[in-house]
Structure 1
Amino acid sequence: MPRFEADEIALAYLDEGEGEPILLIHGFASNKEVNWQYPGWVDLLVKEGRRVIAIDNRGHGQSQKFHDPAAYGAPVMAEDARRLLDHLGIESADVMGYSMGARITAFLALNHPDRVRRAVFSGLGYGMVTGVGDPEPIAAALEAERLQDVSDRTGRAFRAFAEQTGSDRLALAACMRSSRQKITEADVTRISQPVLVAVGTKDDIAGSPQKLAALMPHADVLEIPGRDHMVAVGDKVHKQGVLAFLNNVDA
């Protein structure tokens, strides 16, 4: 698996296929394989004639881990994504992020608008502005000695997911405490690229996709029927809707 140095930090990524580039940015406690390869996104996009790049965010997957919250933050991870585009010599790409990855994508679009052609914010709606709850129960769940000791429902779900993916739980706890920077409504209105906001109809974490999309001049909503935050990523409707958005030459 290829790696590169971003600001003296080792980050892993994949780079498959040929054609118009799309950068995929995974969600919290996930990685490029769990978020994008296993659900079939990489194969699907390669078959659609795309060059698919997916990064392991710092603290995740095969990238370097830190146990200090100061090492994280969505704007910091957006710079990692920008450095990966620099490393690969890609001037501009479509960018799709899931959950935390959507927040990172938004910061990338705001801070480097010339690098993002289109954006897909999946698994995150108006929670991008309001925040998506207190990070401390999730961080505490990740630090708990045993899963059985965790009573918070959301924390327990993320702890179980971290165990399933073999993640560094202390790195994830540090990331959780610093990665949820809110973006103001005023800043969201400055995202001028075409955007698709894709959220499951049973997602009680993301916040309203309609309310977020209404802030941007060129945004559409994709509702993923019957799917919650943990399972919407690989849904067929999700994939079909994203492909339609990416293939809309007028967008």
Structure 2
Amino acid sequence: MHKFNSDGVEIAYEVAGEGPPVLLIHGFASTGRVNWWDTGWVKTLVNAGHKVITFDHRGHGASEKLYDSERYPAIAMAGDARRLLDHLGIAQADVMGYSMGARVAALLAIHHPERVRRAVFAGLASRMITGVGGSEAIANALEAPSRDDVADAGARGFRVFAEQTKSDLKALAACIRSSRVKITAEELGRINVPVLVVAGEKDDVAGDVETLVKAIPGSRGVTLPGRNHMNAVGDRGYKVAVLAFLKGGADA
């Protein structure tokens, strides 16, 4: 794994394959490896002829851990993504984010549209606009002495996942208190690159696909039957839709 300095924060990243670049942005409490390598995404995209770039967000995985919530605004994470492209000498890439990573990808497309060829927002749909909620409960769950001390079932689920990914719980608590910014429909309406929105049918974290599609001119949406927030990420239908979208196909 390689590392670079992103405006004073050490960010870990990996690159695989050759061809048109795709930047993959993972979700909260996950890592580039867990979100994209372990689910077969990197292999799928490399086999389709792409150079694939994954990285660990600040506070996650092998990247630098920060304990001040003011260091974790989503726009700062989008800055890390942009500076990674700078570091690799990549002028423009396809960008795909999952969950928190979708929010980061959207901010990258809004503020640096020249760096994004196509964008996939997955695992976060209408709630990108309306907000997800529960940030303080999740932060408290991460800071609890043990998972057994967490009464809130949803927050406890994040604690369990964070432990599974061997995350720094204190750093994640700081992150969740700052990173869940809402993006207005007006801001999303300024996105001028092709966008694909993907979420599971049973994903209560993401919300509905159609609301986000309506907010982004010319975007397309895919709802994955029977999938929820945790099991949608490796879904075969998700991969098929994205491969078609990246090729510029009419059917995603």
Instruction: State the TM-score, normalized to the length of structure 1.
Output: 0.98
Q: How much does 1:249 deviate?
A: 5.4
- Please name the residue that 2:14 is paired with: 14
- Please name the residue that 2:24 is paired with: 24
Classify the secondary structure of the residue corresponding to 2:207.
Answer: coil
The equivalences for 1:1-251 within 5 A come to 1-248=1-248
Q: Deviations over 1:77-122 (max 9, x none)?
A: 0000000000000000000000000000000001100001100000
Classify the secondary structure of the residue corresponding to 1:234.
Answer: coil
Task: Measure, in 2, the Cα distance between the counterparts of 1:121 and 1:16.
Answer: 22
Task: Measure, in 2, the Cα distance between the counterparts of 1:154 and 1:117.
Answer: 35
Classify the secondary structure of the residue corresponding to 1:232.
Answer: coil
Q: How much does 1:47 deviate?
A: 0.4
Task: Measure, in 2, the Cα distance between the counterparts of 1:248 and 1:194.
Answer: 9
Q: How much does 1:134 deviate?
A: 2.5
Task: Measure, in 2, the Cα distance between the counterparts of 1:119 and 1:161.
Answer: 26
Q: How much does 1:60 deviate?
A: 0.3
Q: How much does 1:250 deviate?
A: 6.8
Q: Which runs of 4+ in 1 moved over 6 A?
A: none
Task: Measure, in 1, the Cα distance between the counterparts of 2:155 and 2:138.
Answer: 4
Read off the aligned partner of 1:148 and give its amino acid letter.
Answer: D
Task: Measure, in 2, the Cα distance between the counterparts of 1:211 and 1:152.
Answer: 28
Task: Measure, in 1, the Cα distance between the counterparts of 2:218 and 2:2.
Answer: 35
Could you tell me which runs of 5 or more consecutive residues in structure 2 were left unpaired when the two chains were aligned.
none
Q: How much does 1:218 deviate?
A: 1.6
Q: Deviations over 1:197-219 (max 9, x none)?
A: 00000101111110111111121
Classify the secondary structure of the residue corresponding to 2:151.
Answer: coil
State, as a whole percentage, how many aligned pairs show the same letter: 57
Task: Measure, in 1, the Cα distance between the counterparts of 2:249 and 2:237.
Answer: 20
Classify the secondary structure of the residue corresponding to 2:167.
Answer: coil
Deviates more, 1:103-112 or 1:241-250: 241-250
CA RMSD of aligned residues (A): 1.0
Task: Measure, in 2, the Cα distance between the counterparts of 1:5 and 1:110.
Answer: 23
Read off the aligned partner of 2:146 and give its amino acid letter.
Answer: R
Task: Measure, in 2, the Cα distance between the counterparts of 1:82 and 1:37.
Answer: 21
